[in-house]
């Protein structure tokens, strides 16, 4: 049963002190009478309504910009973005959720901020892949008591508004001259759009053995099946952190805690990775961590691991 937490300010001191528990905190808010949620790990703060200053050429779903403690933030009007009619007519009573992800700080205008709820990722139901280009504003459906709350993908919304296809990457140059056809790479990523973007870049870079899974649970079941049948395991696992059913931290911990899979290199690749949160990956045994969309760094790290493995084999 999910339980409300007391304050967003205490989020880093609450359940998230322990890594790999497959838990998260969800900030629930309302837009046009509909309740939505966002992972608290992406929320910097919630502030009172501030009149935004319109800017020339801004998208229809952007209210403008505001100044907050020396920074200029774009304010997204979630009513227009989600095609919701406001129920609370007085905008001065609305709230602004200030977020941080992928190194970007942005603001999203909502009507009501409800509370923070502690959930398991098992309480988040995946949504079917949708949209012509794979983009969707909803990442999952959270079970909060008897209610289903739509989890919004603020990153996808922001990228759509700013026309920023940050995940589309050209092939990575093979500066070390390693044989990229040999390593087996598995990916756990819930976004169909990002999953396809990563696969294209990885394959264009010369990696031939690549398998993708839609969340940590699917990936772990594949690990278990491979171990059971004595089938080939991956050399490298690339994993997102935020995923329905099982998050990347919990997946990494399970991989590293199992003697049959503990030697597999794990890269956490997520918008949640910051200087303040990096310790979480370290605690669950991740070999490397990169903030999205720095996929080239992931590829070059794999090259380094493969070159070192080849050198060790030659030396032996």
**pLDDT of 246-260, one tens digit each?**
999 999 999 999 999
Residue 176 domain flag: no
Q: Which two tokens stand for residue 271?
A: 């918008």
Instruction: State the CB neighbour count (10 A cutoff) for residue 19.
Output: 19
Among 162, 195, 226, give the residue marking a domain's end: 162
CATH at 248: 3.40.50.2300
What's the total number of domains in the chain? 2
> Considering only 16-25, 112-121, 266-275, 286-295, which range has the smallest mean pLDDT?
16-25
pLDDT for 315 beyond 90: no
Residue 168 domain flag: no
Residue 275 domain flag: yes
The rounded distance, in Å, linking the Cα atoms of 142 and 244 is 9
Residue 134 domain flag: yes
Domain shared by 158 and 188, yes or no:
no
Domain shared by 143 and 221, yes or no:
no
> Do residues 205 and 299 touch, judged by C-beta distance below 8 A?
yes
pLDDT at 192: 86
pLDDT at 293: 87
Query: Residue 148's closest CA among 180, 173, 126?
Result: 126
Q: Between 291 and 7, name the one with better pLDDT.
A: 291
Domain shared by 154 and 194, yes or no:
no
CA-CA distances (angstroms) from residue 212 to 129, 131, 189, 257, 293? 14, 19, 7, 22, 17
Domain shared by 113 and 157, yes or no:
yes
Q: Which residue has tokens 């098992």?
A: 122
Residue 172 domain flag: no
Query: What three-state secondary structure class fits 11?
Result: helix
The pTM of the full predicted model, rounded to 2 decimals, is 0.87
CATH at 124: 2.40.50.180
Domain shared by 294 and 195, yes or no:
yes
Residue 87 domain flag: yes
Query: Residue 240's closest CA among 257, 252, 225?
Result: 252
Among 92, 127, 162, give the residue marking a domain's end: 162
Domain shared by 33 and 157, yes or no:
yes
Q: Which whole number is the average pLDDT over 103-109?
A: 93
pLDDT at 156: 86
Domain shared by 47 and 190, yes or no:
no
Domain shared by 198 and 120, yes or no:
no
Q: Between 134 and 126, name the one with better pLDDT.
A: 126
Domain shared by 7 and 142, yes or no:
yes
Domain shared by 135 and 13, yes or no:
yes
Among 104, 129, 162, give the residue marking a domain's end: 162
Q: Which whole number is the average pLDDT over 185-190?
A: 97
Q: What is the DSSP string of 88-118?
A: ---GGG-EEEEEEETTEEEEEEESEEEEEEE
Range of the domain at 104: 3-162
pLDDT for 213 beyond 60: yes
- pLDDT tens, position by position, 14-54: 444 478 899 999 999 999 999 999 999 999 999 999 999 99
Residue 169 domain flag: no
Residue 173 domain flag: no
């Amino acid at each position: 049963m999910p339980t409300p937490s007391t304050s967003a300010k205490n989020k880093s001191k609450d359940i998230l002190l322990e890594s790999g528990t497959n838990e998260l905190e969800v900030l629930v808010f309302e837009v046009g009478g509909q309740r939505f949620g966002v992972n608290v790990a992406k929320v910097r703060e919630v502030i009172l309504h501030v009149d935004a200053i319109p800017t020339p050429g801004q998208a229809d779903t952007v209210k403008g910009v505001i100044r907050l403690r020396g920074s200029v933030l774009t304010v997204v009007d979630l009513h227009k973005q989600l095609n919701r009619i406001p129920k609370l007519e007085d905008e001065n009573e609305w709230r602004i959720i200030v977020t941080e992800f992928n190194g970007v700080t942005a603001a999203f205008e909502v009507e009501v901020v409800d509370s923070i709820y502690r959930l398991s990722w098992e309480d988040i139901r995946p949504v079917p892949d949708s949209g012509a280009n794979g983009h969707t504003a909803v990442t999952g459906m959270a079970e909060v008591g008897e209610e289903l709350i739509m989890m919004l993908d603020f990153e996808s919304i922001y990228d759509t508004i700013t026309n920023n296809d940050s995940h589309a990457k050209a092939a990575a140059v093979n500066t070390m001259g390693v044989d990229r056809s040999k390593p087996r790479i598995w990916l756990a990523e819930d976004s169909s759009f990002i999953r396809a973007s990563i696969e294209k870049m990885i394959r264009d870079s010369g990696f031939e053995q690549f398998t993708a899974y839609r969340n940590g649970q699917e990936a772990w079941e594949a690990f278990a099946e491979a171990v059971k049948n004595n089938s080939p395991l991956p050399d490298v696992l690339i994993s997102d952190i935020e995923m329905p059913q099982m998050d990347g931290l919990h997946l990494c911990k399970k991989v590293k805690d199992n003697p049959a899979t503990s030697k597999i290199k794990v890269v956490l690749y997520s918008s949640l990775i910051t200087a303040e949160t990096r310790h979480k990956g370290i605690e669950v045994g991740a070999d490397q961590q990169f903030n999205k969309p720095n996929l080239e760094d992931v590829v070059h790290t794999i090259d380094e691991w493969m070159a070192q493995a080849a050198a060790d084999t030659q030396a032996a």
